[in-house]
A and B are shown apart, each in its own frame.
Chain A
Amino acid sequence: MSKCKTSSEVGGMGHSVKRKEDARFIRGQGNYVDDVVRPGMVFMDIVRSPYAHAKIKSINTEKALAHPGVAAVITGETLKEYNLHMMPTLMSDTQMVLPIDKVCYQSQEVAAVIGTDRYAVADGIELVEVEYEPLPVVVDPFKATDPDAPIIRDDKEGQESNHIWHWEEGDKEATAEIFNNSDVVVKERIYIPRIHVASIETCGCVSEFDKATGQLTVWMTTQAPHAIRTVLALVAGHVGLQEDKIRVISPDIGGGFGGKVPVYPGYVIAIAASVVTGLPVKWIEDRRENLQADSFARDYHMDCEIAADKDGTLNGLRIKTLADNGYADAAANPSKYPAGMFSICTGSYDFKNAFVEVDGVYTNKPPGGVAYRCSFRVTEAVHAIERMVDMVADEIMMDAAELRMKNFIPKDAFPYHSPTGWEYDSGDYHAALQLAMDNIGYDKLLEEQKEKRERGEFMGIGICSFTEVVGAGPSKDFDILGIKMFDSSEIRIHPTGKAIARFGTKSQGQGHETTYAQIIAEELGIPYTDVSVEEGDTDTAPYGLGTYASRSTPTAGAAAAMACRKIKAKAKKIAAHLLETSEEDLEWEVGKFSVKGVPDKAVTIQDIAFAAYTNHPQGLEAGLEATHYYDPPNLTFPFGSYIAVVDIDSGTGEVKVRRFMAVDDCGNIINPMIVEGQIHGGLTQGLAPALFEEISYDEEGNMTGGSFMEYLVPTAVETPHWETDKTITPSPHHPIGAKGVGESPTVGAPPAIVNAVVDALSHLGVKHIDIPITPEKVWRAIHKKEVA
């Protein structure tokens, strides 16, 4: 979109207006959960298990209760009285809130201490005496289904192994046939390790129960307040917490990235504590608790195979994946998709066929599988395909860009039906890769690399041409715990022409207060500065499934446009009344209706709004407002091509990303500045797992490196200069032609960087390195040493 329809004062789509929310954030005046203070508020801290798998023989709370300031200790037995010791996960699995007889992962919640201040409860948790009897531990997911492996979920009826689910997509026989008839087959086991979203704000809540009215208010770090309220009503309805008596408020949120979608035991315990005591209870995790116990992301072991012809034609793809879910399947995928959208793994390429299967298993590790800035396992899928395509290029000695260009789904093939069942809405993959190559000077880089290689220097160029799938989703396929994945917008135009708009989503930094206002500005011509945007309070906002998986613009953004169109339809009736003409004689130009051929005879949207309350036509309802629940007809398919250039220090093995060119296509753009910011942040969160981040466990199930002293979340120091550009291929089915964008860079960056590193070392025979590519791994690859 090169030309904006609205003036910069109106600030509709395409204007890089400054973010309205930043006025409070840059002044330090945001209001986060930990800023919430209630009269008589008490504090909660949590006793956590030192063992990954152990029987609980006894819990003695005497000493803790005797500590000054400690008011109560809550254990599994306390919660069991209310049948609140177990809860459902979003994947219809179950997990403990607090244990009765055993713990299943290190740092699991064992008991909670309530007291007058944070210091008292921090002391109190050390005084709770828990006697454990260690049990054998399952750490390696490949050993989880061994016949002699201990059954972790012996609490579940009929659970006779640690296998949870099997899921597959594509045509197994037809794909096998393709593999039998192709010249080239390339195979690799690719591991995407556990990582953590590590949002700057950890999780927490303030729960306040009014015994007189039976009203529960919970300020909570959640990306999905409405869904959380419904889950709470389902979990605790039997103790009187009906949905109409529950108000969930998600105030300002300091980063979510998928980690604030699940319901954590801490929330439920704090709620139970406030219901029992009648006091407001605050619980805020510390950084170590957040890293060690909250839901992880990734942890997929993928056996990948591609069948191709010698000329580089990609024929078939086969991936068999083992998903390590930890103690419970606590991912936040849509119900029908236990492995999320992993079957998007055929990527940007026109494969003849593909077969994908995933098995989920339990291990003695924290539960999860959240979609960390990634639309439900798309990061894993893109990593697999983009690494494998490079391996094919290496095998047949073809340039990696040329191989991609040869196999891209052509522009005129959209809508494209993939072998694993997706209908890609739109794309122009050749254009995006070509632009990235032109921008970065691909041919010159190849020459430079050749010269450097002759001098013994390691330089690599890596490409990733990803296809994303975001905006869950159409109600026929997408639900979480049965709730369909629509989203909503409710817009009210005030008499003076200003507006308030409320949404079922919840910004955690994405800039919704600005971008939603811009959509409304675009549709109605009301300046974006005249539109207040509210989200996150279940008492006031319309129902929606929240913000994650790049779904806000595809769903709630679309709902805003549709609600505006309802408003415009009514505005037209009022305009006809005011201009004493018929609706057919009116034409719309941003912000006003005028009589066709008589441009001077016009009424602005502000005039119309005033009339809606002061001079509305007889027979028409007063007021000017609309609500829309948008059920998308399809997902949106953003894409892009990234090129990374890396230099490797041959002495230490350190990787330096010298250049990174990111060409993104997210359809029509609402606010280019915000999109660019999203891309910068996402690329940095893609750099992180590529080079730095991994959560690992020792044989006993102890987490190795559970603090920022070991777990490197990149800062400005580690982050290279990002170069960005775009192509624009509007989504044909979205009301404003937009797609999601927040996750594309997180998904696309890691394989580009890995491909560059492997490229730098390919002449030494290096074929693949698992992320994170640490200096030691590179050193071992250079010196052909086994990875320790």
Chain B
Amino acid sequence: MIAYKFDYKVANSIEEAFSMLSSAGDAGSFISGGHSLVPAMKLRLAEPETLIDISKIPGMSGVAIEDGFITIGGLVTHAEVASSYIIKESCPGLAECAGVIGDAQVRNKGTIGGNVAHADPGSDYPGALIAFGATICLSSSEGSREIAAENFFTGLFDTAKEQGEIVTAVKVPVASSSAYAKFPNPASRYAVVGVGVALNMENSTCQSIIIGVTGAADHAYRAKESESILNGSELEENNIEKAASAVSESKEMMNDLVASADYRTHLCGVMLKRAIAKAKYRS
């Protein structure tokens, strides 16, 4: 449980971070909360030669709301998201999601930027961010770009982020009828299955619903089949049941000590039903 030898540098600006990374080369790695990277280093699964601490860089902390979008700095911790009044009011499902990540220690140290960049298949945020239509903001020495969460998570620990890019912020549109339901791995507290739902109800009819699923497959995905079953419906029980059966999207479910593939498929449906119930209550 002792990491390989590494250098540790603190970047005071984003420009300095990029320049430090460029001198460190391929063996350099950014670190903020360290709650994914440090355990991997201790197991000697990750062996960065240079850690570049970006947690002191100004401008990537804090939560703000403007023009119907919540902007969450990449350095904002899970605990801050869980307790932010802005988020609780404008996207309660996201605060709910952050509040069930890991345990108190993890939530106090881990950051949203680090979390989405790492893209652990059992991570909570990806499912919620896809459902809530979030945008991931990236910067590198080449410039900045934005990418929809739905297109950001591409595989097992794999994202659309290029080497050298930092997740500077996550933007989430206001979604008051949002919810997240999770079945945690009892030991690690990662999501065995986590389902985020953003709902738009009008006169008891579902105008639109977006569903994001994490934990179940090798990366988080949007469950469009279930969405289409529910869009335009009154969320009657039989429709919800149908949507619940479809939410695994015939994807290859993960299979591990905690949950076999068919149990996971079942849990996807249960968590979808629970997330819809909560979102509907909030609408």
Interface residues, chain A, CB within 8 Å of chain B? 118-119, 122-123, 126, 286-288, 651-652, 692, 696, 704-705, 708-712, 717-718, 774-776, 779-780, 785, 788
Contact = CB atoms under 8 A, between A and B. Distances in A.
B144 interface: no
7 contacts: A651-B273, A651-B274, A652-B267, A704-B257, A709-B187, A710-B258, A712-B187
Contacts of A712: 186-187
Contacts of A776: 258-260, 263
Interface in B1-46: 1-2, 4-5, 44
A225 to B, nearest CB: 27
A651 B270 CA distance: 6
A780 B186 CA distance: 18
B205 interface: no
A785 B188 CA distance: 26
Contact of B1 (A287, A717, A718, A779): A287
A493 B188 CA distance: 53
B1 A288 contact: yes
Contacts of B88: none
A125 to B, nearest CB: 10
B183 A692 contact: no
Given A710-B188, A711-B187, A776-B260, A119 B2 contact: yes
Contacts of A118: 2
B266 interface: yes
Nearest to A288: B1
A644 to B, nearest CB: 18
A775 B2 CA distance: 34
B187 A779 contact: no
B270 A774 contact: no
A652 B1 contact: no
Contacts of B260: 776, 788
B90 to A, nearest CB: 29
Of all A-B residue pairs in the complex, the 3 with the closest CB atoms, nearest first, are A712-B187, A122-B2, A651-B270
A449 B153 CA distance: 46
Contacts of B270: 651-652
A289 to B, nearest CB: 9
A297 B41 CA distance: 31
Interface string B224-268: 000000000000000000000000000000000111101100110
B2, B183, B188 interface centre (most CB from chain A within 10 Å) = B2
Contacts of B188: 709-710
Contacts of A119: 2, 5
B43 to A, nearest CB: 8
Nearest to B274: A651
Contacts of B267: 652
B183 A652 contact: yes
B2 A779 contact: no
B151 to A, nearest CB: 29
Contacts of A123: 4-5
Contacts of B259: 776
Contacts of A717: 103
A123 B2 CA distance: 9
Contact of B266 (A288, A704, A779): A779
Nearest to B261: A788
B187 A692 contact: yes
Contacts of B274: 651
A286 B186 CA distance: 22
B245 to A, nearest CB: 14
B79 to A, nearest CB: 16
A776 B258 CA distance: 8
Contacts of B263: 776, 779-780, 788
B260 to A, nearest CB: 5
Contacts of B273: 651
Nearest to A286: B1
Contacts of B4: 123
A287 B263 CA distance: 30
A692 B189 CA distance: 13
A546 to B, nearest CB: 29
A568 B186 CA distance: 56
Given A288-B1, A696-B257, A710-B257, 7 more contacts: A286-B1, A652-B267, A652-B270, A705-B257, A712-B187, A774-B258, A779-B266
A652 B185 CA distance: 12
A717 B260 CA distance: 25
A118 B2 CA distance: 8
A168 B185 CA distance: 41
Contacts of A704: 257
Contact of B186 (A122, A287, A288, A692): A692
A49 to B, nearest CB: 17
Of the listed residues B5, B44, B257, the one surrounded by the most CB atoms of chain A closer than 10 A to its CB is: B257
A666 B259 CA distance: 40
Nearest to A774: B258
Nearest to A711: B187
Contacts of B187: 692, 708-712
A785 to B, nearest CB: 8
**Most chain B beta-carbon contacts within 10 A, residue among A286, A774, A776:** A776
Interface string B162-193: 00000000000000000000010011100000
Interface in B206-225: none
Contacts of A710: 187-188, 257-258
**Most chain-A Cβ atoms within 10 A of its Cβ — which of B44, B262, B273, B274?**
B262
A651 B241 CA distance: 13
A119 B165 CA distance: 32
B30 to A, nearest CB: 23
Contacts of A788: 260, 263
Nearest to B183: A652
A15 to B, nearest CB: 37
A776 B44 CA distance: 32
Contacts of A122: 2
For A122, A652, A711, A785, the residue with the greatest tally of chain B CB atoms inside 10 Å of its CB is A652
A705 B186 CA distance: 13
A788 B274 CA distance: 26
A771 B85 CA distance: 43
